[in-house]
Structure 1
Amino acid sequence: MPIPDQNTAWLPAPWDYAYRSFAENDAWYTGDTAALAKMYGRESATRSTHVRNGQQMQGGLVGAASRMFWGRPVPANENRARLHVPAPADLAALASDLVFAEPPEVRLESPGETKLRRDGKAQTRLDLIANGDEAHAMFNQMGELKSALGAVALVVRWDTAVAEHAWLEPSAADVIVPTFRSGRMIECTLWSEYVKGSVYYRHLEHHVIGAIEHALYAGSENNLGRRVPLAEIPETASYAELVDSDSRIVTGIDRLTAVYNPNIPTAAWRKKGALAHTGRSDFAQLHGLFDWLDETFSSWMRDLRLGAGKIIVPEAALDFNGIGMGASFDAGREIFAGLNAPGDPSKIAFDKVQFNIRVEEHEKTAFGIYREILRKAGFAQSAWGDYSGKGQMTATEVDDRDKASERTRDKKILQDRVAIARAASVALEIDGKVFPGKGGGRFEQPTVVFPDVSQEDPEKLARTLTLLDAAAAISLEQKVRRANPDWEDDQIRAEVAAIRAERPAVPDPAGFTGDDDPDGVEDPEETL
């Protein structure tokens, strides 16, 4: 999508349709219950509208029949327990941790080379771009965003006043409008929104091969409005000093400075043209389960509230507020209600109300929903704790149970490896132009290496290495590498040498001749 004309609808079709799904996922991800109530309440009100005698009629119970817990209105003056459980945010964090808790390594390699090259200025610049702590933190952020919203764009950034090298920045699917050709993104528009009073300012950043165009519009909630100078608001004033007369920043390279990184291939939109390549959120088909989980915990909290002991008392025992003002009670004083009973109030028996708190029923229901959420998202049931309800399991059963998470991780890595390699390559080329002589430039696409298993259990690793050693199927060097995946080659060599120095030399059985004196000299004491 090129920079749009003035006074056009925002968002442009078909992305207006996609962004409704992005907004729903974002509300669950951020825990915005007000947005959820508004979204599902509006949906139920729309569904309750019907036609009678050619006229649109509104149902009498607007929203009461909503299929979602968060879409049901709360009656006025009623304090109803509503609790949101941050399972969606936890699910996105889990997806990111599974892939990026132990970050990948991006490295330049020569053909046939298998070991990391630390020499050379190009690798040093690449380390700054993609292998430092800043990049690793960015990867974790990217993992969460793409899990929740279905995709991100890895954007190459540079600013000589901020950093001495180029860097990568993730932009979530709900702030980009990509253009695809043959399944590849060939251009994209990133946008930011600033609301000042009744005016909606939108900054559009359009990435094409060789250039980035910046534009600022002043419009309304649903209309882009007129194009205004970048210096009109302070948030975009700095760009006015960077762009040329065409409001563009020329990159000087023949590649796009943004790389699209989908979570997993979309399912629901595979027949919707441009949306077929957007990617699928881990929340897909889980909104109902998220909603039921919130309703379950809300019901649990309601039981806690109702389970507080209440006393039924005569109405005369309540606080009288004055003539014409009735009587009242303080709920904190644990008075439940008054009885308008005849006779002497002192002779009326007091009674108590104590509702049961259904802990076991609510807990089992919640754990069952947790299991279904994890199963649909492709993670092991043990990812959030053991909700399987089984007793002691064998090591084989534990391994089989955890296989689901490992398979999901492998599928996600396929997308991440391609996107990170392309984006790092572009960033290295930009770095060579913005910071000449530092080592950046155009190189072959780097290799992205993920650890074999993220956060591998030390006890499980020790058992694996022991079995491989007993089978004579692994060398000492490989055992050290497996046990210390973040070590450099010189650290591994030093550790191998230290282990060999501590272990006594073992004689070769093949060279044993039966002679106890390897020097061939007879011991005089043995002849006595």
Structure 2
Amino acid sequence: MALPANGTEWPPKAYKPAYDAYRVWDAWYSNDTDRLRSVYAGSGIRPDVVARARPSQYAGGIIGKASRWLWGRPSPLNGPDTRLHIPLASDIARASADMLFSEPPTLAEDDVPDDVRKRYEQLLEEDSWHQLLLDGAELDTALGDIYFRSVIDEDIAPGRAIPALVHADAAIPTIRYGHLIAVRFFRCLLEDGDTYLRLVEDHTDGRIDYALYEGRRDNLGQKVPLTEHPDAAVLIPGLDEGSGQETGVKGLTVERIPNLGPNRRWRGKPQLEQLGRPDIDGVEPGLDALDEAWTSWMRDLRLGKARIIADRNMLESNGPGGGAYLDLDREVWAPVNVPPSQNNSAPITLNQFAIRFAEHGATCDALTAWVLRSAGYSTQTFGEADQVAATATEVEQRERRSFTTRNRKIINWKPGLARFLFKHLMLEQAHFGGPAPVRLKLEFGDSVTESPLDVAQTVSLLAGAKAASKEVLVRMVHPDWDNGQVKAEVQALKDEEQVADPTLMGGADFAPPGNDRPGPPGPPAKGQPPGR
């Protein structure tokens, strides 16, 4: 993969459908109503362009169809925009990340070299590996793909590499048979009007090439020296004459982890069909309908406020030019002359519309259930159906669909993370003489934790049935213990259960007879009756 030529269309034409979709998914995930208006009102991706009413929005076609959505309608010109947004898309992304990485993955093997195990613990403690996994899983759910890369920056982490994330809408991947063979990352360093300064990185087998481009929003523009921006200039000391650097390892130092598959939207389209699928793909109409239902509900609340209509003669004057008012707290009223009306209406009328809270609540619940079901989750994952305590087994039964989706994602995450950690160790060994890289096997923790009472009952039943060893039972009670702690606890239990040998115990009751020491009576003498 060579660096792009000057004047290249951006994003590349083949990937434009994906980046149009990224705009939509990003708008729902970001909870930014300005982005939603920008996407659906047809004003493009420019945040500084104001969406205005146009004839095309009231006609057919793509623009007319989008304008019939809540967020595609023009904003009112003479009043506030009262549309509301419910952050269900970001809630789905966060819930998915929490279900995957509520606990960081652990090393499955007991025979992992000590230096590798120590390095993995350092990743958790010093390199924010757990937080990086949570962030990556959330972005993966929202956009469909996430990229893990190993970065060397001696100012941040001297003597080791650090893991970093690249979002799906900042990458142009080359995928073959589901595997990443090259990728182009880009980052906008400066946006000044219609001038964009982008840093482009090409990651290929054993090498990374860099270039800085100055162009427009939809065009990469011309190459400029890396010294044009300080964030690009810091790379210069480590680059060769070709404005690149050798990584020192075979293959890429990047790993892509897709969220879900298959990709329904781009099935049969080259270069796009192997991209990951986000959870909200296809449920955007439900998200828009949910916002419309909530907006209508809040409109009922505004209209349902009690308003008093009073006859003009009931108002108290503040003097010439001072206006008039109605004192509702006044206890004694002076006689007033109210002119007769045709319908004999009272001089003061209370006006209050009904608030259809039950109908709106049921509609919002139905739309939420539809979106969650289509995204692959149970409604119980996002709220308590009742206040009755439930065991872990009952929770899994209620949230079976959510756990099924979690297991599907683990199928991608487990080998993806293992490949990335192997590449990470390879890079550290090549540059810092780190531990020899090994293929690690990771275990994902349970997203539901059983109560101590449930664990104790399970352990008691297994122990009574002789269906598990002491080591297995100790690991069930203390899943966070290492091998040394487990073995020490097993030995302590065996020591406590050991029965002492009575012949080795001292004391008067166990002393042998004779030698004037008290003890049990011996056999009777010859010719003497027993008992004497």
Into which bin does the TM-score normalised by the smaller protein fall?
Answer: 0.7 to 0.9
Which residue in 1 is equivalent to 2:354?
356
TM-score, scaled relative to structure 2 = 0.81
Structure 1 position 163 matched with structure 2 position 164? no
Q: Distance in 1 between matches of 2:390 and 2:131?
A: 36
How many Å separate the matches in 2 of 1:240 and 1:315?
79
Instruction: Give the conservation status (yes or no) of the 8 Å contact 1:207–1:256.
Output: yes
> Are positions 1:478 and 2:478 aligned together?
no
Q: 1:45-102: per-residue Cα shift (whole Å, max 9, x none)?
A: 999749xxxxxx967xx86983421112232223353221111111101111111111
Q: Helix, strand or coil for the counterpart of 1:473? A: coil
- Which of 280, 285, 289 is the equivalent residue of 2:277? 280
| 2:216 equivalent in structure 1 | 220
Classify the secondary structure of the residue corresponding to 2:305: coil
Shift of 1:259: 0.9
Kept in 2: contact 1:106–1:421 (CA 8 A):
no
Deviation at 1:168, TM superposition (A): 1.5
Alignment of 1:308-347 (within 5 A): 308-314=305-311
Which residue of 456, 460, 466 corresponds with 2:449? 456
Shift of 1:322: 12
% identical equivalent positions: 33
2:314/2:347 contact within 8 Å kept: no
Aligned to 2:245: 249
Contact persistence 1:195–1:201 (CA under 8 A): yes
**What TM-score, normalized by structure 1, do the two folds share?**
0.81
Given that residues 430 and 440 in structure 1 are in contact (C-alpha distance below 8 angstroms), is that contact kept between their aligned partners in structure 2?
no
Kindly indicate whether the alpha-carbon contact (under 8 Å) linking 2:226 and 2:233 is maintained by their aligned counterparts in 1. Answer: yes
C-alpha distance in 2 between matches for 1:152 and 1:395: 31
Amino acid aligned to 1:124: K
Q: Residues of 2 paired with 1:201 and 1:207: CA distance?
A: 20
Q: Which residue of 1 aligns with 2:504?
A: none
Q: Write the deviation string for residues 307-331 of structure 1: whole angstroms up to 9, x where unpaired.
A: 22111234677899999x999999x
Is 1:377 matched with 2:371? Answer: no
Q: How many angstroms does 1:496 deviate by?
A: 3.0
Counterparts of 2:400 and 2:214, CA distance in 1 = 52
Q: Give distance in 2, aligned partners of 1:166 and 1:227.
A: 29
Structure 2 residue aligned with 1:86 = 87
Question: Which of 188, 197, 201 is 2:197 aligned to?
Answer: 201
How many residues get paired? 489
Structure 1 residues 416 and 130: alpha-carbon distance in aligned structure 2, compared to 1, 3 A threshold: farther
Structure 2: how far apart are the matches of 1:277 and 1:182? 8
Q: Distance in 1 between matches of 2:192 and 2:324?
A: 46
1:231 equivalent in alignment to 2:232: no
Quick check: 2:146–2:257 contact (8 Å CA) kept in 1? yes
Q: Given that residues 205 and 215 in structure 1 are in contact (C-alpha distance below 8 angstroms), is that contact kept between their aligned partners in structure 2?
A: yes
Q: Deviations over 1:94-120 (max 9, x none)?
A: 11111111111247xxxxxx415362x
Structure 1 residue 152 displacement after superposition: 0.7
Amino acid at match of 1:477: E
CA contact (8 A) 1:203 1:216 kept: yes
Measure the CA separation in 2 of the matches of 1:326 and 1:209.
Answer: 81
Shift of residue 482 of structure 1? 2.3
Alpha-carbon distance in 1 for matches of 2:389, 2:252: 54
Structure 1: 5+ residue runs without aligned partners? 51-56, 108-113, 331-341, 508-516
**Equivalent residues in 2 for 1:70-219, closer than 5 Å:** 70-106=71-107, 114-117=109-112, 119=114, 121-129=115-123, 134-164=128-158, 165-193=160-188, 194-219=190-215
- Structure 2 CA distance for partners of 1:322 and 1:93, relative to 1, 3 Å: farther
The change in CA–CA distance for 1:399 and 1:153 in structure 2 (over 3 A counts) is closer
For residues 193 and 66 of structure 2, the distance between their equivalents in structure 1, rounded to whole angstroms, comes to 36
SS in 1 for 2:280: coil
- Corresponding residue to 1:270 among 249, 261, 267: 267
Distance 1:386 1:131 in 2: 34
The letter of the residue matching 2:83 is: R
The one-letter amino acid of 2:435's match is G
Contact persistence 1:129–1:424 (CA under 8 A): no
Measured after TM superposition, the shift of residue 223 of structure 1 is 0.7
CA distance 1:398–1:235, change in 2 (3 Å): closer
Q: CA RMSD in A?
A: 3.9
Q: Secondary structure at the match of 2:310?
A: strand
1:48 and 1:519 mapped to 2: Cα distance? 111
Q: 1:351 to 1:483 in 2, by over 3 A?
A: same
1:16-56 CA-partner distances (Å, limit 9, x unpaired): 11011111111111101111112112299999749xxxxxx
The answer as to whether partners of 1:106 and 1:131 remain within 8 angstroms in 2 is: no
Distance 1:472 1:319 in 2: 90
Which SS does the other structure have where 2:74 is aligned? coil
Distance (whole Å) between structure 1 residues aligned to residue 480 and residue 392 of structure 2: 27
Contact 1:312/1:352 (<8 A) preserved:
yes
- Partners of 1:122 and 1:296 lie apart in 2 by 54
Q: Which amino acid aligns with 2:101?
A: F
Letter in 2 for 1:189: R
Determine the structure 2 residue equivalent to 1:365. Answer: 363
Contact 1:168 1:423 in 2 (8 A): no
What SS is found at the alignment partner of 1:260?
Answer: strand
Structure 2 distance, partners of 1:319, 1:220, is 64
Compared with structure 1, are the counterparts of its residues 321 and 84 closer, same or farther at alpha carbon in structure 2 (3 Å cutoff)? farther
Residue type at the aligned position of 1:95 = S
Inter-partner Cα distance in structure 2 for 1:395 and 1:180: 40
Residue identity opposite 1:97 in structure 2: D
Within 2, Cα distance between the matches of 1:239 and 1:292? 48
Pair 397,447 (structure 1): closer, same or farther in 2 beyond 3 Å:
closer
> Partners in 1 of 2:55 and 2:146 — Cα distance?
36
Match of 1:435 in 2: 432
Instruction: Please tell me whether the aligned partners of residues 106 and 127 of structure 1 are also in contact (alpha carbons under 8 angstroms).
Output: no
Name the SS for the 1:207 alignment partner.
strand
Contact 2:40 2:72 in 1 (8 A): yes
Deviation at 1:157, TM superposition (A): 1.0
Q: 1:104 to 1:460 in 2, by over 3 A?
A: same
What SS does the aligned partner of 1:296 have? helix
Tell me what 2:295 maps to: 298
Separation of aligned partners in 2, 1:231 and 1:489: 53
Contact 2:392 / 2:450 at 8 angstroms: preserved in 1? Answer: no
- Which one of 402, 406, 409 corresponds to residue 405 of structure 1? 402
Quote the offset at 1:446 in angstroms. Answer: 1.9
Name which of structure 1's ranges 389-398 and 66-75 shifts more when overlaid on structure 2: 389-398
Structure 1 residues 154 and 398, CA, compared in 2 at 3 Å: closer, same or farther?
closer
Whether contact under 8 Å (2:142, 2:280) holds in the other structure is: yes
